[in-house]
Amino acid sequence: MTEPGALVLGAILLIPALGAALLAFLQDDRASAWLNALVSFLTFICALILLHERPAPGHFLIVDDLNAVFIVLSTLVGFTTSVFSGSYIAHELESGRLTHAYLRFYHSMYQTLMFGMNLALLSNNVGLMWVAVELATLTTVLMVGIYRTPAALEAAWKYFLLGSVGIALALFGTILVYLAARAVVGEGLDAMAWSVLVQNARHFDPALLNLAFVFLLLGYGTKVGLVPLHAWLPDAHAEGPTPISAVLSGLLLNVALFAVLRFKSIMSANPAALAPGPLMVSLGLLSVVFASFMLYRRQDIKRMFAYSSIEHMGIITFAFGMGGTLANFAGLLHMTLHSLTKSAIFFCVGHIAQVKGTQRIAEIRGLTVSHPVLGWSLVLGVVAIAGLPPTGIFMTEFLIVTSTFAREPVLAIVLGMSLLVAFGALLLRLNGLAFGDPDGRSDPAKASLLPVALHLALVLVAGIWLPPAVVAWFQHVAALLN
């Protein structure tokens, strides 16, 4: 038990849990924002240590190559978002949108969310993973509704209803997986430990697995925001506090996708079962096509970037569905870069909505003139997310499209066209937002742009030069996913 890896593994779960409890009672606003950032930072450090000190897998928790990528990304964005959240929330308090009691609630829920996500990523038990994803979802439901405006309440209610349908479907799928495993592994915890499941998957009853995967894909797919199960996503992003939009887009969608990937590898290990790829490819492609056209009609800036998240989750699902080392590699890298870029964009958007006092795209103009730093950061972020070279997202989209071309040219054409459509929509809106004569309300920006700068720098560097160690690591994971 004194193994260092096990200690760190415990710490990565205990720190956010303790933080949540502590923050629930801390009265001072400034101190709690700092504590929130500190707790998130410690969690991030633990995640980094975990890369080197890997404990042996147990019945409930596991660290392997796949979830190591997710956990580091998750805790990093969790930390930078908590830094951004500090300056964002201070403004919300001044403008009276949040009271002190709600702020305590907000900070406590933020750490609960981190706890839920870390637990979901590290769990070796499909039931435990389900519980953790639910915990994370419910905390975000509460936070989406925190402003208590009619629109926020509607968004939260919609999120809650669709999310609970997802809960139900995913749990039913989990039960079916257990049934399939029980016939081979025997009763008890082993039949739910995913490391055991993968090893024995080739003996499972394929019919049961097929049905289970359909339920799991639809259930967790609701949380990934795949079309046609996406209806909650734009509302939840637009009405909640912006740090939560950043965490939702950057992290929670990934966690749900991670759950799908775990079950996908069980499916792939069984030759008689349905190939999971085509299902994921079609859902992913549908999301990309749908979201890229929907981008044109948005009038709310946060809603627009929410649709962009649907598009990118579609791309990632598509890539993992295509499979193969190259597509998996590109999908994994795309996911990482999308998390970093999209959360950076939401950081900018949060400050922009505060200085302009509105989220309506039509009322925001000429940001590069009125707020040069903020405006240009947004320009950089949007250019990166639209997939212009030399940013990393260009490279991954290029890899995904070309690797698809070699195997399914028709799909590649559809994907490539939708990417262009989305690209056009984003640049069109960006033109109006960032350039031209500024008008309307314009408060001075009191923003901490350090998180934005960090994320964008990482994305830019990734497009030009990826450290060989990272490439090797991602390639290894991509090969494992096959």
Q: Please state whether 369 falls in left (phi above 0), alpha (psi between -120 and 50) or beta.
A: alpha
Which long-range CB contacts under 8 A does 471-474 form with residues at least 24 apart? 473/65, 473/69, 474/69, 474/329, 474/332, 474/333
360 phi, psi to nearest 5 deg? -80, 130
Q: Could you say whether residue 151 binds other proteins (CB under 8 A)?
A: yes
Query: Which residue lies nearer to other proteins by CB, 125 or 370?
Result: 125
Q: Could you say whether residue 99 binds other proteins (CB under 8 A)?
A: no
Tell me which stretch binds other proteins (CB under 8 A): 14-22, 151-159, 241-249, 259-267: 151-159
Question: How many residues belong to the site for other proteins (CB under 8 A)?
Answer: 52
Task: Indicate the residue type of 117.
Answer: M
Q: Could you say whether residue 168 binds other proteins (CB under 8 A)?
A: yes
Query: Which residue lies nearer to other proteins by CB, 113 or 138?
Result: 138
Tokens at 368, concatenated = 């590069």
Q: Could you say whether residue 189 binds other proteins (CB under 8 A)?
A: yes
At its nearest, how many Å lie between other proteins and the CB of residue 360? 10
Give exposure, 220-234, as e/b (b: 16+ Cβ within 10 Å): bbbbbbbbebbebbb
CB within 8 A of 442, min separation 6: which ones?
Answer: 355, 356, 370, 371
At its nearest, how many Å lie between other proteins and the CB of residue 260? 19
Q: Could you say whether residue 131 binds other proteins (CB under 8 A)?
A: yes
466 phi, psi to nearest 5 deg? -95, 130
CB 33 within 8 A of CB 93: no
Q: Could you say whether residue 479 binds other proteins (CB under 8 A)?
A: no
Q: Could you say whether residue 175 binds other proteins (CB under 8 A)?
A: yes
User: What distance lies between CA 97 and its chain's CA centroid?
Assistant: 26
Query: Which residue lies nearer to other proteins by CB, 168 or 450?
Result: 168
236 phi, psi to nearest 5 deg? -65, -40
CA dihedral 450, 456, 461, 464 (to 10 degrees): -160
Q: Could you say whether residue 128 binds other proteins (CB under 8 A)?
A: yes
CA distance from start to end of the chain:
33
Q: Could you say whether residue 227 binds other proteins (CB under 8 A)?
A: no
Alpha helices in 387-467 (DSSP H): 392-407, 409-434, 450-464
Q: Could you say whether residue 133 binds other proteins (CB under 8 A)?
A: no
Q: Quick count: other Cβ atoms within 10 Å of Cβ 470?
A: 13
Site for other proteins (CB under 8 A): which residue of 148, 202, 407, 446?
148
Site for other proteins (CB under 8 A): which residue of 1, 52, 96, 187?
187
Site for other proteins (CB under 8 A): which residue of 45, 48, 97, 157?
157
Q: Could you say whether residue 93 binds other proteins (CB under 8 A)?
A: no
Site for other proteins (CB under 8 A): which residue of 85, 87, 125, 245?
125
At its nearest, how many Å lie between other proteins and the CB of residue 118? 17
At its nearest, how many Å lie between other proteins and the CB of residue 16? 17
Site for other proteins (CB under 8 A): which residue of 188, 278, 409, 436?
188
Query: Which residue lies nearer to other proteins by CB, 174 or 370?
Result: 174
On the CB side of 464, CA atoms within 13 Å amount to: 6
The residues facing 300 across adjacent strands are 360
CB within 8 A of 51, min separation 6: which ones?
Answer: 68, 72
Residue position matching structure tokens 């690591």:
473
Residue position matching structure tokens 């951004």:
84
User: What distance lies between CA 416 and its chain's CA centroid?
Assistant: 23
List the interface residues with other proteins, window 39-58 (CB under 8 A).
Answer: none
Q: Could you say whether residue 110 binds other proteins (CB under 8 A)?
A: no
List the interface residues with other proteins, window 234-293 (CB under 8 A).
Answer: 234-235, 238-239
Q: Could you say whether residue 395 binds other proteins (CB under 8 A)?
A: no
Site for other proteins (CB under 8 A): which residue of 9, 63, 76, 156?
156
Query: Which residue lies nearer to other proteins by CB, 45 or 165?
Result: 165
Radius of gyration (C-alpha) of the chain in whole angstroms: 21
Site for other proteins (CB under 8 A): which residue of 103, 114, 192, 426?
192
Residues that bind other proteins (CB under 8 A): 125, 127-128, 130-131, 134-135, 138, 141-142, 145, 148, 150-151, 153-157, 160-161, 164-165, 167-168, 171-172, 174-176, 178-179, 182-183, 187-189, 191-192, 205, 207-208, 210-211, 234-235, 238-239, 298-300, 303
